[in-house]
Structure 1
């Protein structure tokens, strides 16, 4: 039997990824929040692994294996904690709904999604991550390759207020997460040699922020802007051919992606070579 079934008391399951019949017999609780107008069976589920019998755990291992062979990660997180299921559930529910300064609305924070949690690990301050973990001693999540990573507390300090208190800069980063993950997914295919790690994630986020400020108003345009810089040259957009396309997109409100449709990899690599040659000549002066 895998060690994780013995060392983790709880798991999180996303019912939008795993079909209902695959988890309906597991001891679970939907993370229902006061203001989420969503049916409970569609909300994240807290699975109480510590209540499973040995037979049920073995059956679960087989079930997880079947999903893995189909490319589906059964659990989106594994949690270590001595706290009761009620305490864990209430803590997670508290953080699912977030408030922004000056905004009366409540915003859903998908921290249970591994594609979100991996970025929160570098976007949150250590104190904020400790507040997010709360009674959870260790949080493990899977990456796209099926490897598991762990986040634990930075300190043993107890906080009177559990709220994250995200600032505006952090919210802007969170708002970019969908685009950030879209670029990273593209790079897995177009640039598999790029290590999918914190340095790359931060760089892509900076590029997306830069594209916002140009401004490029369409998400697909900002994503292409970031991908071009990562794949071909950090200053690729200083090349006259791309500068002209960016100017058209800004001034005419046209699609930057459409204006780049005639460019293939060889053309962009040629632009990168020109930029490198130009920089070399400048250094030689």
Structure 2
């Protein structure tokens, strides 16, 4: 699916939601921590200068209180009673920008499109404290920017419905593009109400969030290698990184190389005796995993590649995605 198809798909979804509930707003969420260029038409400082000025409502992240310019911001694209979108070009621009930055190693500037009966300032008032969560891996509360598409995809795929229902608060529908460019969405009506003990994030979820930076490097490496991203790319890539970490690999280069091999060969490649030996040697830290693998003979590498038939499907993982 390309940018044009995504544009049509999102517009169709938003049209239907507005028809069902004409009292809803459509807000665009931008992330000042992953900004676009200063001369970009979608840069927050240029929104007020458009032919139809757009007002950006800041979401005051607690950890960025010293610099409001890098906080997220909500821009209202549609208000109840509007005939269509007052600034059609702005909606198109947001979709194009989201598509262009969908797999950027620098993160997404366009985080999503939010439908809510609440105006932007009320949604912002909810989102700011909603991102302050207790990190069980550190034993303290801290800001987790779950509004970032990559991070939100991980939690959505993890099935944390009760948590997400509380987290999105006044937002009835939250839509975003994942790294592959697929349109993802959360609908409050589809999320379960609060269940005791299941409205928080566990250690496993926090650890997945900590692997986001390495996952972005893997996605770039896959693109450079000519591999298409899998369906549910954030969760599938994280599954490979989790396996690498479970084997003791810690260097970013080793983690990325391990994950890339999962997609170049299969998840069974690491069980080959020669590959397993290389992994153990990499744990000693003297040589990287890629250096050790490059020392193997062509015949051995062909054997490792042949494990594809014995292993799971190329993009399979334990969750069935």
TM-score of the alignment, normalized to the shorter chain, above 0.5: yes
Does 1:23 pair with 2:47? Answer: yes
Whole-angstrom distance in 1 between the partners of 2:282 and 2:190: 48
Whole-angstrom distance in 2 between the partners of 1:275 and 1:157: 39
The equivalent of 2:240 in structure 1 is 207
Correspondence list, 1:45-64, <5 A = 45-50=73-78, 56-61=86-91, 63-64=93-94
Whole-angstrom distance in 2 between the partners of 1:14 and 1:89: 13
- What's the TM-score once normalised by structure 1's chain length? 0.77
Whole-angstrom distance in 1 between the partners of 2:114 and 2:298: 43
The equivalent of 2:28 in structure 1 is 11
SS in structure 1 at match of 2:284: helix
The equivalent of 2:256 in structure 1 is 223
Mark the CA change 1:172 to 1:157 in structure 2 (over 3 Å): closer, same or farther: closer
Whole-angstrom distance in 2 between the partners of 1:173 and 1:221: 17
- Deviations 1:53-94, CA, capped at 9 Å, x for gaps: 97851352465477579x357732101111233331122111
Whole-angstrom distance in 2 between the partners of 1:135 and 1:265: 58
Q: How many residues align?
A: 273
Correspondence list, 1:1-285, <5 A = 4=14, 7=18, 9-15=26-32, 16-18=34-36, 19-24=43-48, 25-50=53-78, 56-61=86-91, 63-64=93-94, 67=97, 71-72=100-101, 75-101=110-136, 103=138, 105-144=140-179, 146-153=181-188, 155=190, 159=194, 164-190=199-225, 192-193=227-228, 196-198=230-232, 201-261=234-294, 268-273=301-306
SS in structure 2 at match of 1:77: strand
Mark the CA change 1:95 to 1:62 in structure 2 (over 3 Å): closer, same or farther: closer
Query: Cα distance, 1:103 vs. partner?
Result: 4.1
Larger radius of gyration between Structure 1 and Structure 2: 1
Query: Cα distance, 1:179 vs. partner?
Result: 2.1
- Deviations 1:27-78, CA, capped at 9 Å, x for gaps: 1211113443441111111112235897851352465477579x35773210
Which of 1 and 2 has higher RCO (CA within 8 Å, sep 6+)? 2
Flag the structure with higher helix content.
Answer: 1
Mark the CA change 1:38 to 1:260 in structure 2 (over 3 Å): closer, same or farther: farther
Mark the CA change 1:201 to 1:39 in structure 2 (over 3 Å): closer, same or farther: closer
Q: CA RMSD in A?
A: 3.7
Whole-angstrom distance in 1 between the partners of 2:58 and 2:167: 18
Between 220-229 and 185-194, report the one with greater CA deviation: 185-194
Mark the CA change 1:37 to 1:205 in structure 2 (over 3 Å): closer, same or farther: same
SS in structure 1 at match of 2:78: helix
Query: Cα distance, 1:96 vs. partner?
Result: 1.9
Gapped regions of structure 2 (runs ≥ 5):
1-7, 19-24, 37-42, 103-108, 311-321
SS in structure 1 at match of 2:171: coil
